[in-house]
Amino acid sequence: MLEKTITMAHGSGGEATERLIREVFCRHFHNEYLDSLNDASSVPGAGRLAMTTDSFVVTPYFYPGGDIGRLAVCGTVNDLLVSGAVPKYLSCGFILEEGLPVDDLDRIAASMAATAGEAGVAIVTGDTKVIEGKGGGGLLINTAGIGFLDESRKVGPDQIKPGDKVIVSGTLGEHHAAILGCRMGMQNDSIFSDNAPLTAMVNALFGAGIPVRAMRDVTRGGLATVLNEFAKSSGLSVTVGEDKLPVLAPVRDFCGILGLDPLYMGNEGKLVAVVAPEAAEQALDIIRRSPFGENAAVIGETGKTYEDAPALYIRTPIGGTRVAGALYGEGLPRIC
């Protein structure tokens, strides 16, 4: 039987590490690639690959609607998807703080395995380190991912043309609000993280031949930061209607009380897609019928720049227009 809490011995690389790997990680993640437990995993390749990595430091590691394990799979899978790749393999590096309850780690590993299944990827290799805790015991997770690039998925902000439509796949700010509410000790039965893999949604868009120009998932920095990047990289303006932005009522109320702007809040399961105008209605319909896409909306369009300065413009409900920059400074630390 494994000990009840993580000790430094679990990070030694010796027998205690091996037992932890077998009794927790292999039990949940097992697949033909991982089970060999070699220094590196051998997997089938492809002509062109996408590679990405993300570290996850969210606190608390369990929060309403999800946990750090689900987040660590979704974040990397979604980064591959929005790059035009079909996600295939994940690596997983655990940095455990001494004192972490093994039951918590087990629950997180189970959540990762379930999310990997949902996202269509295999966790093929991993690493475990243990560091001194600050008392409570916590954990950090890094995932790196490999996807196969598909010729039919050529996307990038450089493909954006004036007049394209901007679609967001659902409501803004849930993950941010859920984490912040949790830290504030809020009794919460209405705000849940939206952490989700976008595999089915993105596959459905490309499966239907939608001319997607660029995609991004909304994470740290929020929608405004993504759209500023699109503007900067394409050399165009992006204009969105403030009243078109979908926000759930409890999140809107939460933001109102705290003076937060959903435009700059992080999600973890929302897609922003720029599509050719003639395909916008079909794309919206496909996204709405996909998992996690029921509240999708067309929120704006791209256009020529004013005075050669690419920017994000927000049309206010009373007819005004304001420029919204990218996030500078910290929106919410340790959100993902």
Interactions with its own copies, residue window 257-296 (CB under 8 A)? 266
Q: Is 30 in the site for its own copies (CB under 8 A)?
A: no
The piece of 87-95, 106-114, 167-175, 240-248 that touches its own copies (CB under 8 A) is 87-95
Closer residue to its own copies, CB minimum distance, 41 or 301: 41
Length of the chain: 336
Residue 125 interacts with its own copies (CB under 8 A): yes or no: yes
**What is the closest distance, in whole angstroms, from the C-beta atom of residue 49 to its own copies in the complex?**
4
Q: How far is the CB of 150 from its own copies (least distance, A)?
A: 11
Sites for its own copies among residues 192-231 (CB under 8 A): 216-217, 219-221, 225
- Identify the three-state secondary structure at position 331: coil
Q: Which residues pair with 297 in a beta bridge?
A: 168
Q: Which of 6, 25, 52, 213 binds its own copies (CB under 8 A)?
A: 52
For 288-321, letters b (16+ CB in 10 Å) and e give: bebebbebbbbbbbbeeeeeeebbbbbbeeeeee
For residue 147, report the phi and psi dihedrals to the nearest 5 degrees: -130, 160
Under 8 Å between Cβ of 6 and 100: yes
Report if residue 151 touches its own copies, rule: CB under 8 A. Answer: no
Buried b / exposed e over 162-186, threshold 16 CB at 10 Å, is eebbbbbbbbbbbbbbbbbbbeeee
> Is the Cβ–Cβ distance between 167 and 298 less than 8 Å?
yes
Q: Is 156 in the site for its own copies (CB under 8 A)?
A: yes
Task: Pick between residue 41 and residue 302 the one whose CB is nearest to its own copies.
Answer: 41
2 contacts its own copies (rule: CB under 8 A): no
Identify which range of 125-133, 172-180, 185-193, 296-304 contacts its own copies by CB under 8 A: 125-133
User: Residue 60, preceding bond cis, omega within 30 degrees?
Assistant: yes
Cβ-Cβ contacts under 8 Å for 258 (sequence gap 6 or more): 180
Only one of the segments 40-48, 163-171, 188-196, 303-311 lies at the binding site for its own copies (rule: CB under 8 A); that segment is 40-48
Residue 300's DSSP bridge partners are 166, 240
Number of residues interacting with its own copies: please give it, by CB under 8 A.
Answer: 74
Closest approach, Cβ 45 to its own copies, in A, equals 4
Under rule CB under 8 A, residue 149 binds its own copies: yes
Q: Which residues of 31-58 are buried (b: 16+ CB within 10 A; e: fewer)?
A: bebbeeeeeebeeeeeeeebebebebbb
Nearer to its own copies, 126 or 310 (CB): 126
Q: Is residue 28 a contact residue for its own copies (CB under 8 A)?
A: no
Residue 31 makes contact with its own copies by CB under 8 A: no
Closest by CA to 133, choosing from 160, 97, 176, 187, is: 97
Q: Is 326 in the site for its own copies (CB under 8 A)?
A: yes
Q: Which is nearer to its own copies, 58 or 280 (CB)?
A: 58
Structure tokens given for 14: 């010796």
Report, in Å, the least distance between residue 26 CB and its own copies.
15
Using the contact rule CB under 8 A, the part of the chain among 104-112, 148-156, 168-176, 294-302 near its own copies is: 148-156
Residue whose tokens read 């849930």:
174
Q: Smaller CB distance to its own copies: residue 11 or 262? A: 11
Residue of 83, 199, 237, 302 that binds its own copies (CB under 8 A): 83
**Nearby residues of 249 by Cβ (< 8 Å), 6 or more positions away:** none
Name the minimum Å distance from CB 105 to its own copies.
15
| Residue from 21, 130, 236, 245 in contact with its own copies (CB under 8 A) | 130
Does 324 help bind its own copies (rule: CB under 8 A)? no
Pairwise CA distance, residues 143 & 148, whole Å: 17
Q: How far apart are the first and last CA of the chain?
A: 32
